[in-house]
Amino acid sequence: MDLKKIDKIVRLALKEDCGAGDITTSLLVPAGLEVEASILVREPSVVCGLEFLKRTFLILDRTAEVSFLVAEGAKVKPGKVIAHIRGKARAILSGERVALNFLGRLSGIATLTRSFVDAVRGTKAVVLDTRKTTAGLRELDRYAVRVGGGVNHRFDLGEMVLVKDNHRILCGAYGSLAAMMMKLRTKTFKPIEVEVDTIDELEDVLHEPPEMVLLDNMPAEKLRKAVRLVACLSRGRRPLLEASGGINIHNVRAVAKTGVDRISIGALTHSARCVDVSLDLHALKKGQ
């Protein structure tokens, strides 16, 4: 992510957490005291958010030294020390919670995403996120998905056309999905995706195929039938097929093996559990 964007987000988080100042630390800790600290991951994880960690401490203490012992996206075991910090004790204590919040949240998304990516490995399906992200922090959530090996879906409503069931209810005057597609083609050059709930709806829209079709809450048998229907089209008219709805880590491989191209999973961002990370403080030895 762009450093300016990271700094903007980190400063907002620090303002939220520190408020008028860290009263406990300012009362108890001498201003000039320097210390060292280690960042520890306490469970199997895909590390994500190292730059957010670093910028948190550097914004509070420009002289701080932050070194990483693993790369962004590294898969680590419990007990792994992933970073060292040396700097003013006040800054490290005041920035601890913000830094760990970023690291735990982003690593949680990356870890969950990697588990889905690993589960479909060997199939042609790619794992996508959705717009079910933390309000105002979509770019962070989407970044963590990429670090975990996933692919980002549309970032916002203006990026592409995605006709969902509620759109279809309000646009019944078109008579058919194919007629609706023909109308859309006269109004935009942006990619179009259409959600369908049944095989009949899929057959309808394939008369005027969009770039993508979202197969909503279809069981594996229907997904396989959808794949066969699209395979009958000439290569230039075949839309990408995206499965969505009711997909979890236990059934995602079965979904991928039906032959769909994409699997979108809202849980990557709306249900990821924060990874357990901690900061251990160490006093500097004499002479350091």
pLDDT in tens, 221-252: 999 999 999 999 999 899 999 999 999 999 99
- Shared domain for 136 and 60, answered yes or no, is no
> Does residue 165 form part of some domain?
yes
Q: Residues 247-257, buried b or exposed e (16+ Cβ, 10 A)?
A: beeeebbebbb
Strands 80-88 and 34-41: antiparallel
Q: 3-class SS at 41?
A: strand
pLDDT in tens, 45-57: 999 999 999 999 9
Same domain, 57 and 170: no
pLDDT for residue 274 is more than 80: yes
Examine the residue annotation and report whether 195 is marked as an active-site residue of this protein.
yes
Residues 124 and 85 in one domain: no
Q: What is the largest CA-CA distance in the chain?
A: 81
User: Quick one: pLDDT at residue 288?
Assistant: 54
Examine the residue annotation and report whether 97 is marked as an active-site residue of this protein.
Answer: yes
Q: What's the CA gap between 212 and 262, in Å, rounded? A: 10
> What percentage of the chain carries pLDDT values higher than 90?
88
For residue 281, the tally of other CB atoms under 10 A from its CB is 13
201 is catalytic: no
Q: What pLDDT score does 46 carry?
A: 98
Measured distance CA(192)–CA(170) in Å, rounded: 18
Query: Is residue 132 domain-shared with residue 235, that is, in the same domain?
Result: yes
% pLDDT > 70, the chain: 97
Active site residue 159: no
Contact between 22 and 107 (Cβ < 8 Å): no
| 208 is annotated as an active-site residue | no
Residue 288 lies in a domain: no
Q: What value does the mean pLDDT take over residues 180-206?
A: 94
pLDDT at 172: 66
- The helix (H) or strand (E) run that includes residue 86 is strand 80-88
Candidate list 11, 75, 132, 224, residue with the active-site label: 132
Q: How confident is the model at residue 170 (pLDDT cuts 50, 70, 90)?
A: confident
Q: Are residues 93 and 146 in the same domain?
A: no
Backbone angles phi, psi at 235, to 5 degrees: -55, -40
Catalytic residue among 96, 193, 195, 261: 195
Catalytic pick from 75, 97, 131, 146? Answer: 97
Within this chain, do residues 31 and 105 fall inside the same structural domain, yes or no?
A: yes
Q: Is residue 44 part of a domain?
A: yes
For 252, the domain range is 119-270
Place of tokens 């809202």: 266
- CATH code, domain carrying 49: 3.90.1170.20
Letter for the amino acid at 161? V
Please identify which of the residues 164, 185, 228, 273 carries the catalytic annotation: 164
pLDDT tens-digit map of 121-158: 999 999 999 999 999 999 999 999 999 999 999 999 99
Residue 11: predicted pLDDT = 96
Given this model, what pLDDT does residue 87 score? 96
